[in-house]
Structure formats: structure tokens, C-alpha cells
Amino acid sequence: MNEAHQEDTTSFQEQHQVVQKNIAYYDLKWRSVENPSTKSTWNWLAFLFSTFWLAYRKMYKPFFIIAGLQLLWAVPFYFIDLTAWLDLFFYGIISIIVGFFGNRWYFNHTNTVLKQASALPDSVQESYIQTKGGTHVGIMLGLHALLFALFFALDFGLSFIPTETNIKNVVRINGEADTLEAYTDNPQWNYIKQDGRHHVVEFTGYDYTEKEDVRIVFYVYFDKYMYEWNQIFINGKKLNEEDSMDYELYIEENSW
């Protein structure tokens, strides 16, 4: 065994004190590359659980960075109509990044803990490593409870800003809107204008079962976070009051 390899072995043995749980896995991953501080190996748990894995392994800095990015990412959805696929793409990229770099980050994290411990008196080094290393389910759950609370506060605050997106969401985030979208091709929600104390929002789509174009005008009262059906047009023809009520009732009865 050469001298360089002996140094690597000693280093890993020291890091085992920080890892504490599942030592064999990380030892194998780190030994599979020449320099685990700069070379990456794949971690499926980090990929699948991302911020949960980071918090579980007490890597707070990357946890808060990614959590902050997630909070910032949510903001544009209250101001611009963005497809949900972008959300899936963003979180997919986050998962891939954490899965790919996770073992490297963890290796450097253990190095940092050992370096910090070495600067302390000998009598407290072991207890410091035990505290900073290992895993903690309670911390993982607590940090995510905080993260979910921040998401809730963000949603509560931003959803009451009278943007066109938020105004349309008063209508389209409900069971009736889901039914309208399910029964039509190419469903579209358009903000038309503000008319006095209410906003005019229009739904359009093609009813593939009845083979007819549908256009519905809603009045949205954003200050009360409520809406009402106003006019219904089928193939460009406005329905009378009785037919409009029947159509609204039909949608309502088929909604969750």
C-alpha cells in the first residue's frame, strides 16, 4: 500500500466519525473516485428526496440555498401564467443536481466538521463531531415544517395581489373550472378588463362531445375572492337565462 493511499484511508476513517450511519455506502462511493472532494458520484436518495436528504445529513447551507431557490421560483407564478410543466422541470433539475453532487457535498461537509473540531480543545472534539455529524430525523422534519410554513405565508401574501393571474385563479382553481377544462379541448382563460368593482374573465374551449365552441363570461369579485357566471355562448350564440342555468347546473353537478 503506497503512502498516498494510506493517507486517504486515514482521512476516510476520520470521516466515519462524522458519517456515523451508513458508513459503508459513503466509504464505497468516495473510494470509487480519485478525489471525492472534486469528483461526483450518484446518490439515489439525494435525487429522490433532495432537501429531505440534505436536512437529514445536517447539511444546512445547501438546504437553505435550495429552499430559498424554491421559494423564489414560486413567485413568478402569481404574476405570469406559467405552465405546470415548468414547475416539474425546475424540481427535476434540482433533484438531478442534488443527486449528482450530493456525495461530493457530503464529503466536503465531513471535512469541514473535522476541521472545525480540530480547532477545539481535545476534550470536546469528540462531542462536537457527534453533535455536528450523523443524522437527525427531528431536524429534517422541523426544517421542512418551517419550509412549508414559508410557502404557505408566501402563497397567502402573494395570492391577494390583484394581478391578472391571481384574478383568473379565483375562477380556474376550483372544481367547476376543472370540469370545464376536462370537457373541452384547448381550454383558455383570459382576463378581459375591470368593470367597476368586478373583473371580467372569459373561458373558451371546444366541447369535443357536443362538437361545439364554448365561451363563458365570469364576473370576479377579487376583494371577496368569489365569482359568478354571467353569460354563456355556444357556437357564438348567447344562451337564454334558463339554458344558461341548466348549463351551469350541469357543470356544477359533474364537479368535485
From first to last of its 256 residues, what are the pLDDT tens digits of the chain? 334 344 444 468 899 999 999 999 999 999 999 999 999 999 999 999 999 999 999 999 999 999 999 999 999 999 999 988 999 999 999 999 999 999 999 999 999 999 999 999 999 999 999 999 999 999 999 999 999 999 999 999 999 999 999 999 999 999 999 999 999 999 999 999 999 999 999 999 999 888 999 999 999 999 999 999 999 999 999 999 999 999 999 999 988 7
DSSP 49-116: HTHHHHHHTT-HHHHHHHHHHHHHHHGGGGTS---HHHHHHHHHHHHHHHHHHHHHHHHHHHHHHHHH
Note the pTM of the prediction, 2 decimals: 0.85
Q: What's at 245, amino acid-wise?
A: M
- For the CA atoms of the chain, what is the radius of gyration? 28
Q: Domain segments of the chain: what residues?
A: 3-158, 164-253
Predicted local confidence at residue 4, as pLDDT: 39
User: For residue 143, what pLDDT is reported?
Assistant: 97
Rounded to whole angstroms, the Cα distance separating 187 from 215 reads: 10
- Calculate the alpha carbon distances from 51 to 8, 64, 70, 96 in Å: 29, 9, 10, 12
Q: Which three cell numbers stand for residue 18?
A: 462524522
Q: What angle do CA 204, 207, 210 make, to 5 degrees?
A: 145
pLDDT value, residue 209: 86
> Tell me, what amino acid is at 60?
Y
